[in-house]
Structure 1
Amino acid sequence: MQQLNVVWFRNDLRAYDNAVLDSAVEHSTRNGSPLVALFIATPDSWQQHDMALIKQDLIRRRVMQLKTELAVLNIPLIAVEGNDYKQVGEVFVQLVKHYKLSVFVQREYELREQLRDKQVETILVDSGGQYIEFDTQCIMPPGSVRTQQGDIYKVFTPFKRNWLAALKQHGVRCYPKPKPLAINTIVLPEFDEMQSGDNSSAAWSVDEVEVLGKMRQFCQEKVGAYHTARDFPAIDGTSLLSAYLAIGVISPAQCVARLQIEAKDSWQSDKSGAEIWLSELIWREFYKHILVAYPNLIKHKPFQSETDGIRWSNNEALFKAWCEGQTGFPIVDAAMRQLNKTGWMHNRLRMITASFLVKDLHIDWRWGERYFMSKLIDGDFAANNGGWQWAASTGTDAAPYFRIFNPVSQSEKFDPQGEFIRLYVPELSKLQGKAIHWPHSLGGVKSYFSPVVDHATARKHTLEIFAEVKKSA
């Protein structure tokens, strides 16, 4: 039976800095055996994971672009349309009937994905093939950064300190784009061809070189001011790379390597723009380390187990108002409308809206977590779950429960001129000064919504319900 090597792409949709692809190309070159790339769309499973339609579209567009980019390397990419993870196994069952497979793949951390991969590994091994896995989602793989006692860090600051020590010791390695293989004609079983998406992500480039250029430009031109600009949603001060990190068009190693080149030593300077952006990349890894160490988080369990006893109000009308940006709190409404319209939300606004849902409306953080995943083009389970549990004071290294954002003062501080609010809440576009942050002080604006809650009263209730569970614990 002929040997066939397969690069199974999932959330590592790139040709540059891809250890999986690099190893598969090296293996094929050494053995003279053909290599194909494989991607299997599983929309039913994506839906079960609350994956946003705009993210699904971005993935489909990126896969078709990757197919073009790999063709230059004489690597055919087979993009298959499946339904769910069960059909993934069926694809490999068909392949092992014709070939002895060596499958190269990047490890995924979520439970259903691990079960899927275990099934595929069994199919391959039972047929005499190989399942070759690489743990390359993070620069420092989960479990590699530990306390002196060998435990997983539950607090970010010491995790970051030891992560940086490992970075200085080992550095980062970025793999070049592989050289073209010799043309090798193969005949594969017929599969349903992957369908195109709805083009909802059209504003986001899927060309790998263009995305790398965006990352390089950010490190050259914007990262120096990141520490001062990143909290202001009306300013174009963030990298806008999160969607590409989420599906693997770029890698965290590429980001760190480019940052070190462009920022020189400033990435080691406390509170510099480069150091703060690096911290954001480390937060991303921290949450993945936590996810692997505590798999119950994947089942939407709180890290602080006693907080599962909180009696949330879960008012569906209030939740609907929050989702639709109709709460009567301008910064909250503008942020939610940005999410609904564009599939993306500024990070400062994610904290404000999450705090508002949990600590003003007293709605279970899991409702918000799922809603964000259903809308975000950069939806990433570990980061989204970690962020929501931080805001809800239920997670590891979470904000203290008595830290409750005042949405009006947050608005005044981070959108002082109301530019962002005017962009997404046109009903308030004519208001000037502080009135735009709280139009109700003028008796309200007829075309705008009345506030759904009194912040001071809600804050008091939040302190009471958290104190109750802390006392019982």
Structure 2
Amino acid sequence: MSLQIQKALVWFRRDLRDFDHAALYHALKQAANVYCVFVFDRHILDTLPNKADRRVEFIWESVRELKLALQQQGGDLLVAYDFAEQFIPQLAHTLQVDAVYSNCDYEPAAIARDAAVAAHLKAKKIAFHQYKDQVIFEQDEVLSQAGKPYGVFTPYRNAHIKKLNDFYVKPYPVDAYLHHYAVASDEIAQQYVLRELAQMGFTRTNLQSMKLPTGMSGGKALLEDFLERISYYEEARNFPAVKGPSYLSVHLRFGTVSIRYLARVAWQKGSAGATTWLNELIWRDFYFQILYHRPDLAEGKAYKAEYEALHFPNNPAHYLAWCEGKTGYPLVDAAMRQLNQTGYMHNRLRMVAGSFLVKDLLVDWRWGERYFAQHLIDFDFSANNGGWQWAASTGCDAQPYFRIFNPVSQSEKFDPQGKFIRKYVPEIAMCSDKEIHAPWTISSFRQQLIALEIGRDYPYPIVDHAVQRALALDLYKSAKI
């Protein structure tokens, strides 16, 4: 087979693996010499307020593993700390490559960045090739019969599954072309080494204490563990004290696992648990295509225009109590403390905490969206925005505005023994299984017996759910008039 080009550069972004990788496969297949690069993009890193950001550490560890893997295969990974928009064209010119390869990114800011990179490369007569890799179906691949994007999940899912076949989940056989890896000169390689986190202004976090495995090996280990219990996923996924989820969300976010492989496994297993998990993967695609067709969502717009008129009171003290896990509602507080301590929050609790902020505390959903964006290690704009607009009833296929989670009944249903609450709200661990969901109802005599004083050791509820529910209904009704 005659190769199409002499030199190529693969730009890794949110696809930190050396297998089943669309851009890497096409570059290795088409070019005689393939260089690889990852950029810690200062456009992103310089804006992060927390210099102990778990995401940066996760990326660093995953990049380190990817670099070692590529070296073992005869290649290497150049690693830069720079502004990607200018750096990638400069490096491509320095290496004298014929083309740059990358996988598509669907967020508006990333689309704009890639368009600028493409223009710079074109000026240097260097091609720019992009491929679908982080989703099963992208952009306009799943449309209604009228040729329009879906705004409701169920018909989207049905069309998605109908279209799904072996072609869309088959792996890219990268291993067949490893002999095309190239290594940059010593001068260039020494210039773009993996610098320590501290050299980029970041400090290490608690990833090791969290026992969150990073990189390709971490993703593989978590997947193997999950596949042993996937048949129970449908029942177990809603209970935060139970090992129910796959815990692969951060690996999907940074591409240390292959979405095609995950979808293929779930699709082929076909059990109730596997089918439910496949639905979750399809939700991810759904939110990606929503954002692609509605880039204004990245500017803080509500999906449903009529809800732009919502006037939230936005009590700062209530918002701060929510952020700190001190609302007086144990399940909500446990959820927020889990997020603050680990960077992760159980999916059921994301819905509970979101509903509570918007419909109990009457705080604008965008405030919560921003807080999650800063703290979630698996933060993905499309899913985060979709989840918050779902909770706030402003989004596509959202719960109706009059459906408002009761934080106590949610607690009783999904953490019946209070195991999760006790882990993150230890000051009320001495409460009985029944008491722990609403500790403010415990009599003063009983509080003395268990050495707990509500209002001192743990706050009274900062709002009354029944009262706030009525206020929320009025707020939404006024916006629809």
TM-score (norm 2): 0.90
The residue type paired with residue 360 of structure 1 is: D
CA RMSD of superposed structures (Å): 2.0
Find the counterpart in structure 1 of residue 448 from structure 2.
Answer: none
**Residues 343-392 of structure 1, C-alpha deviations (whole Å, 9 max, x = no match):** 10000000000000000001010110110111111100000000000000
Judged with a 3 Å threshold, the aligned counterparts in structure 2 of structure 1 residues 44 and 118 are, in CA distance, closer, same or farther, namely: closer
Given that 1:216 and 1:258 are in contact with CA atoms closer than 8 Å, whether structure 2 keeps it comes out as no
Q: Which of 445, 469, 472 pairs up with 2:479?
A: 469
Segments of 4+ moved more than 6 angstroms: 49-52
Find the counterpart in structure 2 of residue 186 from structure 1.
Answer: 184
Shift in Å, 1:75: 1.7
SS of 2:65's equivalent in the other structure is helix
Q: Which of 19, 22, 26 pairs up with 1:19?
A: 22
Q: 1:127 and 1:154 mapped to 2: Cα distance?
A: 41
Shift in Å, 1:182: 5.5
**Residues 264-320 of structure 1, C-alpha deviations (whole Å, 9 max, x = no match):** x32xxxxx2111111111100000010001110111211011211111111111111
Shift in Å, 1:175: 1.9
Find the counterpart in structure 2 of residue 269 from structure 1.
Answer: none
Q: Which moved more, 1:37-46 or 1:145-154?
A: 37-46
Find the counterpart in structure 2 of residue 356 from structure 1.
Answer: 356
Judged with a 3 Å threshold, the aligned counterparts in structure 2 of structure 1 residues 357 and 184 are, in CA distance, closer, same or farther, namely: closer
Q: 1:23 and 1:192 mapped to 2: Cα distance?
A: 24
Shift in Å, 1:466: 0.3
Given that 2:169 and 2:260 are in contact with CA atoms closer than 8 Å, whether structure 1 keeps it comes out as yes
The residue type paired with residue 329 of structure 1 is: Y
Q: 2:46 and 2:475 mapped to 1: Cα distance?
A: 33
The residue type paired with residue 317 of structure 1 is: A
Given that 2:153 and 2:286 are in contact with CA atoms closer than 8 Å, whether structure 1 keeps it comes out as yes
Q: 2:212 and 2:266 mapped to 1: Cα distance?
A: 22
Shift in Å, 1:43: 4.2
Q: 2:57 and 2:233 mapped to 1: Cα distance?
A: 29
Percent identity reads 39
Given that 2:64 and 2:194 are in contact with CA atoms closer than 8 Å, whether structure 1 keeps it comes out as no
Unpaired segments ≥5 residues, structure 1: 267-271
Given that 2:440 and 2:460 are in contact with CA atoms closer than 8 Å, whether structure 1 keeps it comes out as yes
SS of 1:181's equivalent in the other structure is helix
Q: 1:125 and 1:314 mapped to 2: Cα distance?
A: 48
Q: 2:250 and 2:182 mapped to 1: Cα distance?
A: 34
Find the counterpart in structure 2 of residue 215 from structure 1.
Answer: 223
Judged with a 3 Å threshold, the aligned counterparts in structure 2 of structure 1 residues 47 and 238 are, in CA distance, closer, same or farther, namely: farther
Find the counterpart in structure 1 of residue 200 from structure 2.
Answer: none
Given that 2:9 and 2:97 are in contact with CA atoms closer than 8 Å, whether structure 1 keeps it comes out as no
Find the counterpart in structure 1 of residue 390 from structure 2.
Answer: 390
Q: 1:322 and 1:99 mapped to 2: Cα distance?
A: 53
Q: 2:100 and 2:469 mapped to 1: Cα distance?
A: 54
Judged with a 3 Å threshold, the aligned counterparts in structure 2 of structure 1 residues 15 and 100 are, in CA distance, closer, same or farther, namely: closer
The residue type paired with residue 186 of structure 1 is: A
Judged with a 3 Å threshold, the aligned counterparts in structure 2 of structure 1 residues 393 and 92 are, in CA distance, closer, same or farther, namely: same
Q: 2:181 and 2:469 mapped to 1: Cα distance?
A: 66
Given that 1:303 and 1:395 are in contact with CA atoms closer than 8 Å, whether structure 2 keeps it comes out as yes
Q: Which moved more, 1:360-369 or 1:131-140?
A: 131-140
Q: 1:417 and 1:135 mapped to 2: Cα distance?
A: 44
Q: Which of 237, 243, 252 pairs up with 2:259?
A: 252
Q: 2:241 and 2:41 mapped to 1: Cα distance?
A: 36
Q: 2:68 and 2:102 mapped to 1: Cα distance?
A: 20
Find the counterpart in structure 2 of residue 8 from structure 1.
Answer: 11
Task: Answer yes or no: is 1:404 the counterpart of 2:432.
Answer: no
SS of 1:81's equivalent in the other structure is strand
The residue type paired with residue 252 of structure 2 is: L
Q: 1:255 and 1:156 mapped to 2: Cα distance?
A: 20
Find the counterpart in structure 1 of residue 138 from structure 2.
Answer: 141
Judged with a 3 Å threshold, the aligned counterparts in structure 2 of structure 1 residues 361 and 64 are, in CA distance, closer, same or farther, namely: same
Shift in Å, 1:217: 3.1
Given that 1:50 and 1:373 are in contact with CA atoms closer than 8 Å, whether structure 2 keeps it comes out as no
Judged with a 3 Å threshold, the aligned counterparts in structure 2 of structure 1 residues 7 and 401 are, in CA distance, closer, same or farther, namely: same
The residue type paired with residue 454 of structure 1 is: D
Find the counterpart in structure 1 of residue 204 from structure 2.
Answer: 199
Given that 2:336 and 2:353 are in contact with CA atoms closer than 8 Å, whether structure 1 keeps it comes out as yes
Unpaired segments ≥5 residues, structure 2: 198-202, 444-452
